[in-house]
A = this chain, B = another copy of it.
Amino acid sequence: MVQATDSVVLLSGGVGGAKLALGLHRALPPAALTIIANIGDDFRHLGLAISPDIDTLIYTLADLVNPDTGWGRRDETWNFMAELERLGGETWFRLGDRDLASHVERSRRLEAGDALSTITRETCQRLGIGSHIVPASDRRVQTRVVTDAGVLAFQDYFVRQRAQPVVSEVRFAGAAEAVPPATAMAALGDPGLRAILIAPSNPWLSIDPILAIPALRAALEKSTVARVAVSPIVAGQAIKGPTAKIMAELGMPVNQVGIARHYRGLIDGLVLDHADAGEVAAVEALGIRAITTSTVMQTLEDRMTLARFALEFAATLRRP
């Protein structure tokens, strides 16, 4: 059973990770969950500071998210974009009227000197989200994708070019100098910490920007708490997004061994889908415990079930 003093940390990107984040948020007591969110996708657009993964996590946990896309706002309208197009503005990155409030308010507060972590914390409080969403850093970390079409800013690669270019390397500008917010480090050092989970987000695009921050990687490496990743790959395919495509482009096997090798030294256990039961032995040969369940989350119940499964798996992995 989860105790009131128990706490859990989740490293997460956007849509895919937010599904597990919601499961944990609903399965755990209020305030037990700290989500360290990817900021490598953050960018300035139309003069606004946009934090896609933080917003997806906030909208998801506040039950404001568009259930059809997994990002953006439910009951969204697009009159701002229609008028921006009329005025000749840039429209390749679409911002809904409701969603825009987050970007305008965040931009205003950043300009006024507030830290991204402060803004995010107060937004969560305002929206009644008991879990803690903490950006991996208050300093910018920018994902740059080295491709056959050049070195691309993340949103250029991901949205404008629809992840079509062939990836040879992913870089995280600013990561070496970035320092996690004190709340992130405190959550990772909490004596009541029960598990560190890595969401089934894209390891190269969504989790690596977090792990590229030296203090966060070191905290994971040194933690004595059970560390469990949920694999984003099922039967050689990504549940969502370009994970499988990137793995192949980077020359690694598109399977659980590829995921396990990537996280080796950072995780004690890997949760796989039943479809990949045949890979359990190969993962465990790398010194990582592996377990299978259904990792495809369609319903809220799926999310909570997988969350509980990962926590129970972690509980079996308590390190000495």
Q: Which of A46, A79, A98 has the most CB of B within 10 A?
A: A79
Known: A46-B108, A47-B107. A101 touches B84 (CB 8 A): yes
Number of copies of this chain that the complex holds: 2
Known: A102-B87, A126-B87. A108 touches B77 (CB 8 A): no
Quote the shortest CB–CB distance from A159 to chain B (angstroms).
Answer: 18
Interface band, chain A: 20 to 34
Residues of chain B within 8 A of A79, CB atoms compared: 76-77, 79, 96-98
* A89 at interface, CB cutoff 8 A: yes
* A111 at interface, CB cutoff 8 A: yes
Residues of chain B within 8 A of A100, CB atoms compared: 80, 83, 97, 100
Q: Is the CB of A80 within 8 A of B97?
A: yes
A122 to B88, CA, bound (A): 10
Q: Is the CB of B77 within 8 A of A97?
A: yes
If over half of A's interface residues share one DSSP class (helix, strand or loop), that class is named, otherwise mixed; here it is helix
A35-67 vs B, Cβ < 8 Å mask (1 yes, 0 no):
000000000001110000000000000000000
Quote the shortest CB–CB distance from A50 to chain B (angstroms).
Answer: 12
Q: Identify the closest chain B residue to A126 (Cβ).
A: B88
A109-140 vs B, Cβ < 8 Å mask (1 yes, 0 no):
00100000000001100110000000000000
Q: Is the CB of B46 within 8 A of A87?
A: no
Known: A108-B46, A126-B88. A98 touches B82 (CB 8 A): yes
Residues of chain B within 8 A of A82, CB atoms compared: 98, 101
Q: Is the CB of B101 within 8 A of A80?
A: yes
Which 10 pairs from chain A and chain B are nearest by CB? A83-B101, A97-B97, A47-B108, A79-B97, A84-B101, A83-B98, A89-B105, A79-B98, A80-B97, A87-B105
Q: Give the interface of A toward B (CB within 8 A).
A: 46-48, 73, 76-77, 79-84, 86-89, 96-102, 104-105, 107-108, 111, 122-123, 126-127
